Structure 1
Amino acid sequence: MFRRRRREQPEQAVDQESAAPERESGPWDADEPHPDTDRIDLGGLRLPHNPDFDVRLASVGDQHVGVVVLYEENSLQLQALAAPRSTGLWDEIKTKIRAQAKDLEEREGPFGTELTGEMKVDGDVRPARYLGIDGPRWFLLGVISGSGAFDEAVDGAFVEFIKDVVVVRGDEPMAREEPIPLRRPNEAADETDEGPSFNPFRRGPEISEIR
């Protein structure tokens, strides 16, 4: 489980957090004003600290490509992807997801249109919700799965978690749908080649717990 720890932040980031937010909730872009709360710094994502959640990195090879947040028998998968400056990715990614899971339905949720239904995990079928949020040059995908995916207490806690996530896109050039690099807390960021292409159903990411 990640342990929270404050670290020295660039002056610009401190200014953005101290200014009054222009929206009621996030996910936040690192360059916009957002609440100054204690977060877990994973480089491309800063996650709110919640002692009830177990936060783990998901990796493909040596690259960290997402996070898994565990709560009882439920999970929230989060992945931040690079997006074009002019258009979002959610409409396109929804089409890709529905092409592989045809029984999913669209409905309106806290972040706009989401997909709901079931997903297969290691041969088991679990209720699932797919939430997509388009940001400035990034896209955040959240997948809530488990028996509590449609339970107000459980999915509400996950939604509140997502609303306080900060995405750190950075200024470096990135390919469309390339995972925004993550790292272990307080670990220096390494230069990496273009990451694996996005596939929400591909089995492969390894989950690692960090204490």
Structure 2
Amino acid sequence: MGFRRRREAEAPDENLEPTDEQSDEVEETEEVAAVEGGPWDSEDAYPEMQRLDFGAFQVPVAQGLGFQVNFEATEVDEEGNPVNGRPVAVLVQHSESMLQIQAFAAPKRSGIWAEIRRETSQEIVEQGGGQVQDEEGPFGPELLAMIPAPLTPEVLEQMPPELREQIPAEFIEQGWAPQIIRFLGVDGPRWFLQGVVQGAAIEDEEQWQVLEDVFRNIVVNRGEQPMPPRELLELTLPQEFTEGAEAEEEEAEEMLDPFERGPEITEVR
């Protein structure tokens, strides 16, 4: 393979401190085993700690973490511009690393991660021109992929100057750079949780440990409604997100005294 894998963690780092604020059939797949040590099912006895509630799952909160929600367009105008959408993924950012989280419905007695890994590998190799290799990680089987990322003039123009200066000249000349992506997956009781890791955490053990602890302490709320396998579990925005958005709108609408201290919004971190 033409890319390196990060060093294996010898032991999980306890970066997420508990707080006092919170006292069906598919093709051949792996059998669902009990999820030990997390991620957790909402019916499990899981460790109490501060978490953001996104409906389908709850994500731990810790110092130095940033959160973002990705939306998928559900309605477009006459010109094709999105006018409505639904949340489909949660992004957790730590330093120069990113973890994307999604949760899906799955059969009761069989997992879907083995099948998804095979399909993802095939798509990356055949459609993306990348390379893949199977790995064994702290959550079981995972997938490491190298995907050629385009470096067109438009892409380079949008990059911060300090980041653009770090790109080797050979990558700019060939018009692409290798991007390493790590796919995590956990089969739970009637749900499947996927994590996609990008950035420095691929090689930086300290940054990876933070994201590993986040993923390990997620609590999945599958719900009782019947759903076909692979259907995305419904995401909702936490109260902290909606309150922040409302405060921003109010601040934009008000004419503030330039010498008076206005309302402040504290980012969820």
Same topology, TM > 0.5: yes
CA contact 1:126–1:147 (8 Å) conserved in 2: no
Q: How do residues 66-105 of structure 1 correspond to structure 2 at under 5 angstroms? A: 66-102=89-125, 103-105=131-133
Give structure 1 regions of 4+ aligned residues with deviation exceeding 3 angstroms: 119-125
Q: Which has the higher helix share?
A: 2
Q: How do residues 171-210 of structure 1 correspond to structure 2 at under 5 angstroms? A: 171-186=224-239
Determine the structure 2 residue equivalent to 1:43.
55
Size of the aligned set, in residue pairs, is 172
SS of 1:148 mapped into structure 2: helix
CA contact 1:90–1:139 (8 Å) conserved in 2: yes
TM-score, L = length of structure 1: 0.74
Q: 1:95 to 1:23 in 2, by over 3 A?
A: closer
The offset of 1:145, in angstroms, is 0.7
Read off the aligned partner of 1:105 and give its amino acid letter: Q
Q: Using the aligned pairs only, state the percent identity.
A: 33
The offset of 1:133, in angstroms, is 0.4
CA contact 2:99–2:195 (8 Å) conserved in 1: yes
- Name which of structure 1's ranges 122-131 and 97-106 shifts more when overlaid on structure 2: 122-131
Determine the structure 1 residue equivalent to 2:208.
155
Do residues 54 (structure 1) and 66 (structure 2) align?
yes
| 1:2-31 per-position Cα deviation (integer Å, ceiling 9, x unaligned) | xxxx68xxxxxx8xxxxxxx9762100001
1-structure distance, mates of 2:105, 2:35: 22
1-structure distance, mates of 2:35, 2:230: 26
CA contact 1:111–1:131 (8 Å) conserved in 2: yes
Determine the structure 2 residue equivalent to 1:26.
38
Do residues 109 (structure 1) and 162 (structure 2) align?
no
CA contact 1:43–1:168 (8 Å) conserved in 2: yes
| 1:69-101 per-position Cα deviation (integer Å, ceiling 9, x unaligned) | 112222111110100112101001001110122
Could you list the runs of 5+ residues in structure 1 that have no partner in the other structure?
1-5, 8-13, 15-21, 188-209
Could you list the runs of 5+ residues in structure 2 that have no partner in the other structure?
1-20, 24-33, 74-84, 126-130, 152-176, 241-266
Read off the aligned partner of 1:84 and give its amino acid letter: P
| 1:79-131 per-position Cα deviation (integer Å, ceiling 9, x unaligned) | 10100112101001001110122311011100011111323556553221111
1-structure distance, mates of 2:35, 2:222: 19
CA RMSD, Structure 1 to Structure 2 (Å)? 2.4
2-structure distance, mates of 1:117, 1:156: 20
Q: 1:121 to 1:51 in 2, by over 3 A?
A: farther
CA contact 1:27–1:164 (8 Å) conserved in 2: yes
